Amino acid sequence: MEQRINHMEYLPDMEQIKSDIMDRVISETENYDYSKYTKSDVKTALSHQTKTLDDFKALLSPAAMPFLEEIAQQARIETKKHFGNSVYMFTPLYISNYCENYCIYCGFNCKNKIHRAKLNKEEIEKEMQAIAKTGLQEILILTGESRKMSDVEYIGEACKIARKYFKLVGLEIYPVNSNEYAYLHKCGADFITVFQETYNSDKYETLHLAGHKRVFPYRFNAQERAVMGGMRGVGFAALLGLSDFRKDAFATGVHAYLIQRKYPHAEIAFSCPRLRPIINNDKINPKDVHEPQLLQVICAYRLFMPFASITISTRECERFRNNVVDIAATKISAGVDVGIGGHGDNVQKGDEQFEISDTRNVKEVYDALIKKGLQPVMSEYIYV
């Protein structure tokens, strides 16, 4: 039996930064008892123009469920105030699915027998050309978490190619040190997203059995290292359904809030993924996180952090996505393939990370937004 690394201890190559944010988030989350919030607390929260941390707790509590309609209406007003009718469109591009982590809920995990693949520079360019032809101007580059198979230079090359075709380049890769984030930023990356998966460190340990990802604090501090490395924006998420979703949603919000307070120039984004079935395990599901609960989380994020971007992914079905972009989400993916390769006429080379729910292409999502009176935006960023 291999000896497991301590999930709270940094490995030698991991940068440690001076920050109290993790301790503050964990302390706030451990003290969050959502069962004590009442209808009257929810009404008080809804009556405040600017929501406090306590309001956020009330809006995420079970007591808020009967007020979901009212919460959604208030979230919609807040969204329109800051974003108008704009909904930003993008697509993810997976360039490699090799992974060194053993996360029991993920299709890419190193023990799962799937077809592994990695795109070379020519293949990355072909994929990006095909995506750019759809009119999209924002791309999110993803890899499995393997430094050996997708080193920082390889990801940097992908960013340089992306910069030729897209105005906005995001990354969802394994966490790296601040100097490596600075390098990737120089190569063309604008923002990074890191899913903490769950903020409950004990539960985290039982879900992540091997690999660098097992080290909880290094992953937690990734967004702060990215901002220190010059990234313009950082995205936060918990994978809802892995642990107590209310506590995880609360911790995600507090984490983002504290980063924003410390680095006011950083753009903040939320993703709201729920667990999905994977290859060789179709039993995986988000348990008690049904669509009403997911809507509650998304609206609570919007009311607590009105300026934050909120992404709704293809893990959710077409009907839910169409509705939530008219309420609180401001970013939607389209033309999604979560395998390796497969955009345009290119043949998919590697297996998917999870099953997607909404398979519409870019034009179909674009037309659906127009039909709802929303304005699809491909990019609003101009480089000077």
Report all structural domains of the chain as residue ranges with CATH numbers, in order of start.
24-377 (3.20.20.70)
| 141 SS3 class | strand
Q: Are 68 and 292 in contact (CB under 8 A)?
A: yes
pTM, entire model: 0.94
Q: How much of the chain exceeds pLDDT 70, in percent?
A: 87
Structure tokens at 278: 């994977």
Lowest mean pLDDT among 39-48, 64-73, 232-241, 270-279: 270-279
Identify the pLDDT of residue 355. Answer: 67
Alpha helices in the chain (DSSP H): 21-30, 39-47, 53-60, 68-83, 121-132, 152-165, 178-187, 201-207, 216-220, 222-228, 245-262, 291-304, 318-324, 362-371
DSSP annotation of 64 reads G
The Cα 14–Cα 140 span in angstroms is: 24
Q: What's residue 209's pLDDT?
A: 65
Segment 9-19 mean pLDDT: 94
Residue 114 near residue 107, CB atoms below 8 Å: yes
Reply yes or no on whether the pLDDT at 69 is more than 50: yes
308 vs 205, which has greater pLDDT? 308
Among the listed residues 243, 13, 51, the one whose alpha carbon sits nearest the alpha carbon of residue 151: 13
Question: How does DSSP classify residue 332?
Answer: E
CA–CA separation, 167 and 190 (whole Å): 9
Please, what is the average pLDDT of the chain? 90
Q: What's the rounded mean pLDDT across residues 82-86? A: 96
Is 109 a residue whose pLDDT tops 90? no
Select the more confidently predicted residue: 180 or 113.
180
Tokens of 317: 């079905």
Taking the C-alpha atoms of residue 161 and residue 191, their distance in angstroms, rounded to an integer, is 16
For the CA atoms of 323, 325, 328, 331, the dihedral, rounded to the nearest 10 degrees, stands at 150
Q: pLDDT grade, residue 275 (50/70/90)? A: confident
Mean pLDDT of the 243-250 span: 95
Predicted local distance difference test score (pLDDT) of residue 1 = 39
Q: What 3-state class would DSSP assign to 208?
A: strand
| Cβ contact 212:225 at 8 Å | no
Residue (of 192, 233, 196, 176) closest to 21 by Cα position? 196
